[in-house]
Each structure stands twice: as C-alpha cells, then as structure tokens.
Amino acid sequence: MNTPPIVSPEAWEAARAQLLVKEKAMTRARDALAAERRRMPWLAVEKDYVFEGPNGPARLVDLFDGRRQLIVYRAFFEPGVLGWPERACRGCSLVADQVAHVAHLNARDTTLVFVSRAPQADIAALKARMGWTMPWFTITDSFDADVGVAEWHGTNVFYRDGERVFRTYFVNNRGDEQMGNTWNYLDITPLGRQELWEDSPGGYPQTPTYKWWNWHDAYEPQAAPDPAWVAVSDAGEAAFRKESAKA
C-alpha cells in the first residue's frame, strides 16, 4: 500500500481543518438539495395497488399505517433470486442490515416498508432468521413495474392526504447506498426532518431542532418534549455553534 505521509499532530490538525472546509460545504449542499427535493412536484397515484401483508390484503394507502409519509424499498426476494428461498438478494440484504430503528421515522409521521414478490410465509421466515423487523409486504400486481423497480432495487416515497396518495420521489442505483440512516430517509421525504432550521415551503410542519428525539421505546404520540432533554440539547447546540464560529 502506498500510504499517506506520517506527520506531526499540528500538521495532522491543519490537514483535517483544510478538509473540514470542503466537508462543511458538502453538508450545506446536501441540505440545499433536500430543500429543492421538498419542492419537487407530486404525481398522483391513480391505481389502487394491493399487497399481501401478515394480516392479509392491504392497499397502498394502508401501508402508510395512518401516517402521512411512506418510504417503500423494493427488495429482491422471490423465485429466481440467488439464495431463494433461504436468502434474499445479497445487495438488498445489505440494505436491510443498515435500516435504523423505524420508531424514529414513525415519530416524524413517516412509515418505512419493504416490498418483494415472495409469499408472506417466506418473508416471515427470512425476517426471523436475519433479525429484521421492518414491515415487509408482498407485491401482487404491477406496482413494481409502474414505479421503476421491476428489474432493479429502488426507493420510492409517497405522501398521503386522506385517501389520496402521491408519489413524491424516487432513488435507485448508488443513491440507495445512502439509505438506512434515519436522517437520510427523512431527507428524501416531502416534509423532510420537520425541524425549524430547514428551508421548507411555508406551512410545512416544523418543530424545534433536536427536541423531538427520544429513545426508540419511549415515543408517545403528541407528547411534549422532555424538559430535561430540551436543556441538554440547548446546551449542546450552543457549544456546537460556539465551536463552529471559532473554526
């Protein structure tokens, strides 16, 4: 290996500071891109797609589980896929292994589901063996072909207004590499992270930054932020911004 040079602590800190300038610029560019994504036009979903779930048939609108936003990852687990029926696609399985606890998405009015063409019995067995807990439904119609995931994996995002459903975003190929993290999932949704610092269209739901965070087993619908956590997060944010200003 042709490794980088070994330098003094001072030189290492200088190199890190130089790179940090570019990293911060990339973060700001990513935030700006997410803001533009929140302003993308929506596409009305006209078909009444039906899936099979652990409790029987479910329409696309049912997959939201009462929430406003839905993220659907198309995982390849079906006859013809390498490893069937004991295993799903290796790449899709790697994606599944990255998925953070869905309670954090649920707290932002967002549901994440996986969909495949495998029967529910096979999906249940796979989830149990691999330790996956995300909701996983069976495609029964042309859903995958209609949203660009019949031949390759991809992530679609939908928004629900009552019984009306809209397709708001789609990413596939290497774009899917970023998925799994709570923040990256929220950044592809039409409402975003829903925090005050975000550049979102007027009237979008936003709450104080960090204050909605909680332990994944302690979220309560409509619960006010814990005052103790508010104090901790305020102090942390103040220290972070002070350090950032110095830099």
Structure tokens at 213: 């965070």
Mean pLDDT of 2-27: 97
> Is 76:154 a contact under the CB 8 Å cutoff?
no
Peptide bond into 85 cis (omega under 30): yes
d(Cα 241, Cα 10) in Å, to the nearest integer? Answer: 23
Q: Is the pLDDT of residue 86 over 80?
A: yes
Handedness of CA 113, 114, 119, 124 (dihedral sign): negative
> Is 78:116 a contact under the CB 8 Å cutoff?
yes
Mean pLDDT of 29-49: 98
User: Whole-prediction pTM value?
Assistant: 0.95
> Is 191:69 a contact under the CB 8 Å cutoff?
yes
Helix or strand holding residue 172 (H, E): strand 164-172
pLDDT score recorded for residue 237 = 85
pLDDT score recorded for residue 239 = 85
d(Cα 134, Cα 203) in Å, to the nearest integer? Answer: 31
Q: Is the pLDDT of residue 244 over 80?
A: no
Q: Is the pLDDT of residue 242 over 70?
A: yes
Q: Is the pLDDT of residue 247 over 70?
A: no
Mean pLDDT taken over the chain? 96
> Is 158:73 a contact under the CB 8 Å cutoff?
no
AA letter at 113: V
Instruction: Give the Cα-Cα-Cα angle 91, 108, 71 (nearest 5 degrees).
Output: 35
Q: Is the pLDDT of residue 29 over 90?
A: yes
* 196-237 residue pLDDT tens: 999 999 999 999 999 999 999 999 988 889 999 999 999 988
Look-up of token digits 């495949």 = 116
Higher pLDDT, 81 or 224: 81
Show the domains of the chain with their CATH numbers.
Answer: 43-187 (3.40.30.10), 208-247 (no CATH)
